[in-house]
Structure 1
Amino acid sequence: MNQNPKSNSKLLVGLGNPDREYQKTRHNLGFQIIDYLAEQLNLSWQKEKFKGLYATGIYRQQKIILLKPLTYMNNSGECVRNFVNYWKISLENILIIYDDLSLSLGTFRYRQQGSSGGHNGVKSIIECLGTQKFPRLKVGIGSSKEILWKDWVLQKFNEAEAKEIKKILPELVDWLLKWVGTE
Structure 2
Amino acid sequence: MLLITGLGNPGAQYARNRHNIGFMAVDEIHARHRFSPWSKKFQALISEGMIDGEKVLLFKPQTFMNLSGQAVGEAMRFFKLSASDLVVIYDELDLPPAKLRIKAGGSANGHNGIKSIDAHMQGLLGSRDYRRLRLGIGHPGAKELVHHYVLGDFAKADNEWLEVLFTALADNIAYLVKRDDNGLMNKVALALAGKTANQENKAAPTAKAAPKAQSHIRQARQHHTMAAKLPASGPMADMLAKLFGKKDS
Q: Does 1:161 align with 2:169?
A: no
Corresponding residue for residue 143 of structure 1: 139
Q: TM-score, normalised by structure 2?
A: 0.67
Q: Does 1:64 align with 2:56?
A: yes
Deviation at 1:56, TM superposition (A): 0.4
Structure 1 residue runs of 4+, over 4 Å off? Answer: none
Larger radius of gyration: 2
* Cα distance in 1, alignment partners of residues 71 and 14 from structure 2: 19
Q: TM-score, normalised by structure 1?
A: 0.91
* Matching of residues 125-144 of structure 1 within 5 Å: 125-130=117-122, 131-144=127-140
SS of the equivalent of 1:24 reads coil
Corresponding residue for residue 209 of structure 2: none
* Matching of residues 104-119 of structure 1 within 5 Å: 104-119=96-111
RMSD: 1.5
State the AA in 2 paired with 1:137. Answer: L
* Cα distance in 2, alignment partners of residues 177 and 105 from structure 1: 23
* Cα distance in 2, alignment partners of residues 68 and 10 from structure 1: 14
2:93–2:139 CA contact under 8 A, matched in 1: yes
Deviations 1:152-174 (A, max 9, x none): 00111101112211121122224
SS of the equivalent of 1:150 reads helix
Q: Does 1:123 align with 2:119?
A: no
Q: How many residues align?
A: 175
* Matching of residues 65-80 of structure 1 within 5 Å: 65-80=57-72
* Among candidates 13, 35, 39, match of residue 47 of structure 1: 39
Higher relative CO (Cα under 8 Å, sequence separation at least 6) belongs to 1
Q: Percent identity?
A: 33
Q: Please state which structure has a larger fraction of its residues in strand.
A: 1
Corresponding residue for residue 28 of structure 2: 36
* Cα distance in 2, alignment partners of residues 136 and 88 from structure 1: 20
Q: Please state which structure has a larger fraction of its residues in helix.
A: 2
